[in-house]
Amino acid sequence: MIEAAMIWNEPNNKSHWDPNIDPEWAQFADHVIRAGTAIHSINPAVTRVLGGMSPIDPHWLRRMEGHGALDAVDAVAVHGFPLDWNLWPLSAWPAKVAEIQAVTDKPVWVTEVGVSSFGAEEVQQFGLERTAALLSGVVPRIFWYSLFDLPVSWGAETRHREAEGSSYYRHFYLGLIREDGTPKPALDTYAQHAAEIGLMQWFHFHDPRLDEAVAWMKRLGTKRLRTGLSWADSFRPGAVDSFDRQMEALADFDVTVTFCFTPQHLGVEPHHTSPARDPQAFADFCAWMIDRYAPASGVRPAITSPAAGPGTSPTGPELGLLNFDRDERLAAERSAA
């Protein structure tokens, strides 16, 4: 089941949001307000989470509050990798969380924390055990990144590669399971904490690792999973079938689903980090996903094709966008691109 919807991923990181287009994050805040409102209108029981900060920055969060974005979410999130990229020690985790707790009354979730095995697999094992000791009982949700190593051939999604230097390659060693499918020593350590620490695992479009991931998580005793559904991927042929297969496979876990990535043809600039020209289009996508996978009734509705179209005013508890066939909207958006 979907217990939470995260609005974007690492929005204060240029790998995921372009600050050259939106230097004050005012456009991002508009995306959050619209998406948060849309998600709540479909299912008020779904917890809305502001995309995880990376770096952890209380000043950025205050800026979001000034733009009104925090009124549209129920929790805020942070990401940290102190043994790989952050300029603070592993022992500072409670203090970093406290920095955010000091500027908001929203619950603070740690939705990505990890340690790579780039230098030594024993370091990852130590880092996981120490992180669990530092964060357990401090925050209500912790998600370890990640279950699988990222295949080197897939590349890492970053706009920091030049600055990272050789540290770029750490992106490919953050899994508890190697690219060849064999477990690392830290996997057994994670299993000892699986009841309280969830996993964060991105699944690529038609990801061949999906079934294997589900089998591993059930074997480990994982209760919670954070993953994503890409707005950009929703325009690929067969997107609905791919999304359905992913979410049905994950039905036995409490899922935090992340909505992000702007379709190139809908961005201010043609890039997935760009703000949308029409932020309501992103909100519509979020509402569509919640209606499809986490309806308030608990029963996924059949999507029909009434006569109403884009721009229809909301009627009753539903948003206007749900009163017309999604394929018609996709065709209209493609036509306008």
pLDDT digits (tens, 9 = 90+) for 277-324: 999 999 999 999 999 999 998 765 443 322 223 333 333 333 333 333
pLDDT beyond 90 at 335: no
DSSP helix/strand/coil, 100: helix
Q: Which of 6, 28, 44, 12 is nearest to 317 (CA)?
A: 44
Is 116 a residue whose pLDDT tops 90? yes
Give φ, ψ of 52 to 5 degrees. -60, 130
Q: What's the pTM? A: 0.87
User: Are the C-beta atoms of residues 50 and 69 closer than 8 Å to each other?
Assistant: yes
Residues 139 and 110: beta-carbon distance below 8 Å: yes
Q: Is the Cα dihedral 265, 270, 272, 278 positive or negative?
A: negative
**pLDDT band at residue 152 under the 50/70/90 scheme:** confident
On the CB side of 242, CA atoms within 13 Å amount to: 17
Mean model confidence pLDDT for the chain: 88
pLDDT tens readout for residues 177-221: 999 999 999 999 999 999 999 999 999 999 999 999 999 999 999
Amino acid sitting at position 96: K
Cα→Cα distances 103→8, 12, 25, 134, 141, Å: 21, 17, 18, 21, 19
pLDDT at 198: 98
More confident residue, 304 or 113: 113
| 16, 260 Cβ separation under 8 angstroms | yes
pLDDT value, residue 325: 45
Average pLDDT over residues 52-68: 98
Q: What are phi and psi of 312, to 5 degrees?
A: -60, 140
Predicted local confidence at residue 300, as pLDDT: 56
Task: Assign 233 a pLDDT band (cuts: 50, 70, 90).
Answer: very high
